[in-house]
Amino acid sequence: MNVAIVAGGDSGEYGISMKSGRQVELNLDPGKFIPYLIEIKGKGWNYIIGRKKFPVDKNDFSLTIGKRKIRFSIVFNAIHGTPGENGRLQGYFDMLGIPYTSCDVTTSALTFNKQFCKNVVASTGVFTARSLHLFKGGPDPVPEILKQLSFPLFVKPNNGGSSVGMSKVNEARELKPALKLAFNEDNEIIVEEFIKGRELTCGVLRTQGRVVALPVTEIIPKREYFDYEAKYKKGMADEVVPADVPDKTAATCHEISCMLYERLNCKGVVRFDYIYNGKKFYFLEVNTVPGLSAASIVPKMAKAQGWSFTELLTRLINEELGIKR
């Protein structure tokens, strides 16, 4: 079965996505699948093998290699950020009728918008930090922020990832530069109250028809929060899988995450991020195309579940294609 692994994309997460894609390529079960790593970057869509590149025919998402035409049974989506995590590429594959391993157009677009997603999550009764959603070109937001929210605050691009353009703001005079930094990344931003607590994250997927939560993981950044450096520099954060929390706390986290997976109509493996303050879980965001590189969290979660990375990938593909085993 030919599997197209799409990776790259047009955001600052390009490099990380290529690593995720390569890791998927390396680990797909060779007895079942033939992997084709396809880099998608702007208008250049190419199958990459060694130093060679073959362009994708966008009319039907196929390849021609020599005289051979190659079509794909499924797309494995490894693009973090646009256009793989916000629904754009999903719309293209829907129109061609090619199945893919991640959330559909609506869920991807909704969840990629941090504030819209928080609104839906809050409607299910899950706690979220108080926040304001601001658009570029609007009136000076500072008075409204000071009126509605209390410090410390997080200022972040609303459609971002990897903590780019984000800052923690402890007092009023730091607001202006933080707003500017975030607006450099995005036309809309979110200003959110800081929640003090432990950062817990939970991977969820549907497999063999059942929604399954993977072992809860604690992220312990060695910096003030899980910023870009903490995410991608070796040793800048500890990831404890399974998290050292009471069974009851892990069970609550699983329950909330499985409920959200269904209510948001998720597909494939996603990761819900929370701050747990000892009493309540505050939903921060959901990553619908979480990192899959060797250093990423989801492969570690799968391992703690007793699944190899290969098994996780097989489960994701089989579920999407309705293959029972």
x/- track of binding to ligand ADP for residues 235-274 (CB under 6 A): --------------------------------------x-
Q: Does the protein bind ligand ADP through residue 121 (CB under 6 A)?
A: no
Q: Does the protein bind ligand ADP through residue 186 (CB under 6 A)?
A: no
Of 89-97, 119-127, 158-166, 307-315, the segment contacting ligand ADP by CB under 6 A is 158-166
Query: How do 68-70 and 63-65 pair as beta strands?
Result: antiparallel
Provide the minimum distance between the beta carbon of 113 and ligand ADP in the complex, in angstroms, as a whole number.
11
Q: Does the protein bind ligand ADP through residue 185 (CB under 6 A)?
A: no
Q: Does the protein bind ligand ADP through residue 298 (CB under 6 A)?
A: no
Q: For residues 72 and 226, which CB has a smaller minimum distance to ligand ADP in the complex?
A: 226
Report the alpha-carbon angle 4-7-9, nearest 5.
135
> CA torsion 101→103→109→115, rounded to 10°?
-130
Q: How many residues bind ligand ADP, per CB under 6 A?
A: 18
User: Closest CB to ligand ADP belongs to which residue?
Assistant: 226
Q: For residues 72 and 281, which CB has a smaller minimum distance to ligand ADP in the complex?
A: 281
Cα(41)–Cα(304) distance, integer angstroms: 34
Pick from 205, 172, 206, 210: nearest CA to 191: 172
* Total Cβ atoms within 10 A of residue 136: 11
Of the residues 105, 120, 129, 294, which one makes contact with ligand ADP according to CB under 6 A: 129
- Answer for the pair 302, 212: CB distance below 8 angstroms, yes or no: no
Provide the minimum distance between the beta carbon of 155 and ligand ADP in the complex, in angstroms, as a whole number.
10
**Beta carbons within 8 Å of 115's beta carbon, 6+ residues apart:** 131, 133, 158, 188, 190
Of the residues 3, 103, 195, 200, which one makes contact with ligand ADP according to CB under 6 A: 195
Of the residues 56, 269, 270, 284, which one makes contact with ligand ADP according to CB under 6 A: 284
Restricting to residues 199-218, name those near ligand ADP by CB under 6 A.
199
Angle, helix 309-321 to helix 297-305, in steps of 10 degrees:
90
Cα(325)–Cα(322) distance, integer angstroms: 10
Of the residues 163, 167, 217, 296, which one makes contact with ligand ADP according to CB under 6 A: 163
Q: Does the protein bind ligand ADP through residue 13 (CB under 6 A)?
A: no
Provide the minimum distance between the beta carbon of 73 and ligand ADP in the complex, in angstroms, as a whole number.
31
Residue position matching structure tokens 């500017």: 180
**Strands ordered across the beta sheet of 188-193:** 131-135, 188-193, 153-157, 167-169
Q: Does the protein bind ligand ADP through residue 188 (CB under 6 A)?
A: no
Residue position matching structure tokens 């790259």: 8
SS (H, E, C) 181-229: HHHHHCCEEEEEECCCCEEEEEEEEEECCEEEECCCEEEEECCCCCCHH
Of 64-72, 162-170, 208-216, 301-309, the segment contacting ligand ADP by CB under 6 A is 162-170
- Rg of the chain on CA atoms, in Å: 20
Q: Does the protein bind ligand ADP through residue 151 (CB under 6 A)?
A: no
Q: Does the protein bind ligand ADP through residue 290 (CB under 6 A)?
A: no
Of 80-88, 137-145, 157-165, 309-317, the segment contacting ligand ADP by CB under 6 A is 157-165
Residues that bind ligand ADP (CB under 6 A): 129, 154, 156, 160-163, 166, 192, 194-195, 199, 225-226, 273, 275, 284-285
